[in-house]
Amino acid sequence: MTGTGHSKLNVVYLHGLCSSWMRQDKLSHVELFRQDQARVDYIHHRASNATTKLNPIGKSLFARVPAIIDYDINRYAFIVNIGLGNPTKFFSLIVDTGSDLSWTQCVPCVNCYDQKNPFYDQTQSSNFTTIPCNSNYCTQLEYFGCSSTLTCLFEERYMDNSIVNGSLITDTLHISNDIIYNFVFGCGHDNTGFFTHEDGLLGLGRGPHSIISQAPQAYNKIFSYCLPSGPDEIGYLELGNSALGVKYTPMLTDPDFPYLYFVNLTAILIGGEKISLPPTIFSGPRTMLDSGTAFSHIPPTAYYALRSIFRKEMSNYPMAPPLYNLDTCYDFTNYSQVVVPEISLIYDGEVTTNLAFTGIIFVFTKSQGCLAFAENEDDNEFIIIGNMQHRTFNVVYDVGNLQIGFGANGCS
């Protein structure tokens, strides 16, 4: 790998004022809420069937990368602009902490959706190589197979039921001012599901295929980001560097899901007071940080307690109809200013995140603003801290030292 040592670039929303995609058609909000719930259901389903054997298919340098964040309900996607191949072609990839394998759509295309840039064409790159189906990179995939020429085939199945099929290959990755040679990624030829205009995905999970694992010396197994609070604000994604002013909580590992990021949520505060809950509600490595889920999903016991206090504190505002699975909504039509009770999440080590307004209330319209939390089906399911509750914080994933850091005022 080669690089300049550090480069710093901005993050904006995909449909923000700076984006040419702002006026493109979007899925209905009902469909996008459904997709977000489908991702959560997939996580919980996988957790409840963790011992099931999965079958193969057919059998320190710093890089601060430009990213665009989609403000649709389920598509709060960090879009990073990267380059592939020699000569370099540029692509906009979703960044997902819940995925390892990076991929982009490729020619020849059996089934592809419309995307922003032309499809990747491996025949146009002098650095492209195939990967044998008996290689570790191939057999470490969850779903893999062999082509007629004994090269690796892959299938990625995502939490919202989207599926990508294709070939596992290597090429040169250009990310900001850094160059990673022989970068392993998927070349998707048959892609179905809830994709919009992104060119693919950049995996930031903990598994062997993620960019953090493929360049451990370059990036020291660390990355950080700040998600902006709205479509006109700016955030960042940074590989190879932490952030100032963060406080760390242990990064936990669930043996059934070693590629995901877990922490220990110990308490929820509302209005500065700790919600009274049974001590077992937050026990074990059951709290997952997931940039691909929009709303946090917490145990019913915790949710009902939070909702009850929240409704009492918000009793001066008229209630509005529920918004899909958000059942505590308000009509702010006649209010020029809205005051909500402060909500804080406490992690092991007394790491406190005082949520921004956008982490407390999701404003769909002025007549429908809802508590930005949802309940799980039962108290034993994974707690999922979605990206609504990451916003404006510096969030540092220090995989090498097994810790995750949170710091206030990372971005607007």
Q: Which residues are catalytic?
A: 96, 290
Copy the structure tokens of residue 41. 């259901």
Of 269, 293, 294, 409, nearest in space to 352 by CA: 269
CA end-to-end distance (rounded Å), the chain: 33
Residue 309 and residue 306: Cα distance in Å, rounded? 5
Q: Which helix or strand (DSSP H or E) is residue 306 part of?
A: helix 300-313
What lies within 8 Å, CB to CB, of 245 at 6+ separation is 394, 407, 408, 409
Residue 359 and residue 355: Cα distance in Å, rounded? 5
Of 213, 210, 164, 205, nearest in space to 185 by CA: 210
Cβ–Cβ under 8 Å, residues 323 and 33: yes
Q: What is the largest CA-CA distance in the chain?
A: 68
Q: Which helix or strand (DSSP H or E) is residue 232 part of?
A: none
Residue 94 and residue 74: Cα distance in Å, rounded? 12
